[in-house]
Structure 1
């Protein structure tokens, strides 16, 4: 029979757009820090998913969004960061655009804000004693210039001291399913021996292995539509008894 994709489960897990993907302090449902936040968006999503409860938050203060440029200049996470969506690729960090995003998150309830850490803990629904102790410990590590707990680089660390304080909920939403069937270049579905199954074709999100190791390293507009249009046409031609290689001209992308 047909085989599922070979890359690890679950592929292409990304947190909601906004400050959630930056390198601020992250805490779980107990109000405790649980990770090195100097990782890419995909890794943030996986470590959040491994928590025993779904609730997790990113914590920053009144100066937090201003510190994002320093984080990005330091190469935060080494991979995809949703901050790329607020400015042209390669452009300067757009603080005004990010502040607009933050305001929308506050209005929607995705981000909570308060003038004290205790009040913020109440809005988050986490134990205030744990949360305050976590923030105090993080601030100590920032002053020390060395993350003794999780090994985060000091250049992407910033203290949480200036009110108002913010807590952005870390959530991974369902956009599409990428765990499809294995396929070859002619869009045949493959069996357990990697041999094409006669008369059976697959394309779009129903086809697996498109992202190789299970994710993509940067923001690529239209990548979902592009694969559906391209491989959908190929699958249709082949399923109708034609030859997609003959009907679709080769393009010299480097001409």
Structure 2
């Protein structure tokens, strides 16, 4: 069958129109046609895995996730790491990247507010007021590295406010990030530690062990900012992901892990 020129032009116009509609709606043309490289703070591992799955199902875009300490991601981005979106554990690192010209101005926003919990893998070990920190004979207290992990910095702030920083300083065991701090406690290498609520709570209930959710008055708010990095360029998947983080579906997942907005 011979396709006449007018018919061919009409087909092209129809295809172009369909592509424009898809892009305007935040969809990538073709299944799995667009993907985005995302650096994700370790505390946000579980919720982001869920969000990435529904994001791909709803938009067709794929988020390729890397998890770690926000401070290390900052260094990696400065050294040319191919990330396009950063979901940090604080609001300072995205601001620094923006000031350094490594993030797109005007794209930074707070996607979640984190909570800190004093947690032990042993049921009944942590009391409702955190007095276990004053218990004689405590051998190890795990925290994330306060120089690179905002949750570790918040943990030190709590100890300062409670007047326990000097007494417990020699007992601190530092993980590279909040995931490693949690690992120290879950494996019994530390009796207890400061971890993210999202790591041990689900739908308002502890998933195991015992814990004390630290009052927000004992540390600065853990505002977690997202930002589009300079490598995002015109990648539709990068912009779609940052928009998706503000959707009702994404926020519901975050709330189930104890995050505020």
Give the TM-score, by structure 2 length.
0.23
Give the TM-score, by structure 1 length.
0.23
Say which structure is richer in helix: 2
